[in-house]
Amino acid sequence: MSIEPGAKLGRYEIRAQIGEGGMGEVYRARDEKLNREVAIKILPVAFSQDPERLLRFEQEAQAAGALNHPNILSVYDVNTHGGTAYVVSELLAGESLRDRIGGAALSQRKAIEFAVQITHGLAAAHEKGIVHRDLKPDNLFITSDDRVKILDFGLASWSNRLMRTKPRPTCRRARSILIPAINMQ
């Protein structure tokens, strides 16, 4: 499903398609109420009819929306318009880690810098009981000022603290292993 520039989704005016993936298409849009550029991820209509895919889409939005950290993509809104489900997030300038690597290794200093940022973002998610479960170079975005942003929480799991379900292991142990390693100079 391709949306033409100028089309409206609620208060958002579509400007251009900027990407696509397994869970939908991503567009640059204008939030007319707040007068800012945003990214909108749209779930294809066929997927909106699939309860499992719709649940995964909503889970991604809820997981990312529950987090407020400089290394995690900020989600501003989740809504539907004419049967089309969409998530509105901050618009990032830069490239995926996969594109940044481009088949070549990062310098040791840059790899450590990125690893520390990724660990901080994951630790913030784990503090909220959210486990990403799909961390890969395509889901790590490097902004134009070299800030790492963790994207795509579509496969995330939530601990019993948030979901109030049967207890299962959380990431506290992993966090206690990772954080001391960061502080070592």
pLDDT of residue 155: 54
- Same structural domain for residues 99 and 59? no
Of 90, 111, 146, the one marking the end of a domain is: 90
- Same structural domain for residues 101 and 40? no
| Angle of CA points 152, 158, 160, to nearest 5° | 175
Range of the domain at 100: 94-183
Domains held by the chain: number: 2
pLDDT tens profile 65-106: 778 899 999 989 888 888 788 889 999 999 999 999 998 899
Mean pLDDT throughout 1-19? 90
pLDDT higher than 60, residue 180: no
pLDDT of residue 99: 95
**In this structure, is residue 1 part of a structural domain?**
no
Q: Which residue has the higher pLDDT, 62 or 108?
A: 108
pLDDT higher than 70, residue 183: no
pLDDT higher than 70, residue 159: no
Q: Which residue has the higher pLDDT, 64 or 66?
A: 66
- Whichever domain contains 102, its CATH number is 1.10.510.10
Give me the catalytic one of 50, 134, 145, 152.
134
Q: Extract the tokens encoding 183.
A: 């502080």
pLDDT higher than 90, residue 117: yes
Closest CA to 127 of 167, 75, 174, 89: 174
Mean pLDDT throughout 154-179? 45
152 annotated active-site: no
Q: Which residue has the higher pLDDT, 71 or 139?
A: 71
Count the Cβ atoms, other than its own, within 10 Å of residue 36: 12
- Average pLDDT over the chain, rounded to an integer: 80
